[in-house]
Amino acid sequence: MDLIFTLAIPLMLLSDNLFKTGFSFSEQWGARTAYIVAALIPTAYILIDFFRTRVINPYTIVAASSALLNGALAFLKVDGWKFALRDSYAHIVIFIIAAISLAMNRPFFGELMKMVLNPDNENKKALYQKFVASSAIQKAVIAGTVVIMAEALINGVINFIMNYNNVVAAFGTKEFNAQKAGVDAAMRPISIVMNLISYGLAFYIVTWNSKNEFGEKASPMEDHFWEALEQHHNPQPTPNSAD
């Protein structure tokens, strides 16, 4: 569903030769209208999903805020390097938020870990506090946040260069929309792969440190994580062997 509403439908709206039929929304609606609608559909989809699930955490707030920003920026009449910068806004937002989180000593990736682990009772909350109090875990979530920052920076730079070099037509023209669709079709798979690698690496760093600190079973992504923490902090006494 994400790919349909954030990639497939916008690409169809921006195409200058839809399914090689010669049909173009840019011609039917006007190039600028087609561009704005193509930008607002992902915005609407993300916001509807946000209000439907009612899950509020740093990541969903960032997603909703980015969607609103994307909708607002769609109305800007910019091209050239200004458009390339505008189209890279999502990566810039992630980079800035991650940097601010490090400056505030609340690493962005640490918030994701809390969301994933979901300590939903008093015992788990107590264990979670001991987990994040570990210096090894603190260093791991900082490293994970740095990895995400680096990926956002690299992804943003590549996206800027691709747009700057390929979206060269004037804003509000059919050619501009077609060039934008071409860049999106090329960049979205690259962006997804880079995201998977960066978040996967960040999770690996935390998992590796967790296992080293709390035992081999203390993998945050596995069911026996809480049991491993419990055993680490409250070890059961070894019964005396019978004479």
pLDDT exceeds 50 at position 241: no
In a domain, 59, yes or no: yes
In a domain, 158, yes or no: yes
CA torsion sign, 196 to 8 to 59 to 108? Answer: positive
What is the residue type of 217?
K
State which residues form the domain around 155.
2-233
In a domain, 241, yes or no: no
- Give CA–CA dist 215/104, Å, rounded: 30
The percent of residues above 70 in pLDDT, for the chain, comes to 96
In a domain, 238, yes or no: no
What is the residue type of 18?
L
In a domain, 170, yes or no: yes
- Give CA–CA dist 58/24, Å, rounded: 39
94-120 tens-digit pLDDT: 999 999 999 999 999 998 888 888 888
State the total domains in the chain. Answer: 1
- Give CA–CA dist 42/59, Å, rounded: 17
In a domain, 240, yes or no: no
The percent of residues above 90 in pLDDT, for the chain, comes to 56
Q: Which of 5-14, 17-26, 77-86, 112-121 has the lowest mean pLDDT?
A: 112-121
Task: For the chain, report the end-to-end CA distance as a whole number of angstroms.
Answer: 66
DSSP 8-class letter at 7: I
In a domain, 74, yes or no: yes
- Give CA–CA dist 10/3, Å, rounded: 10
Residue 93 near residue 85 (C-beta atoms within 8 A): no
In a domain, 243, yes or no: no
- Give CA–CA dist 67/5, Å, rounded: 13
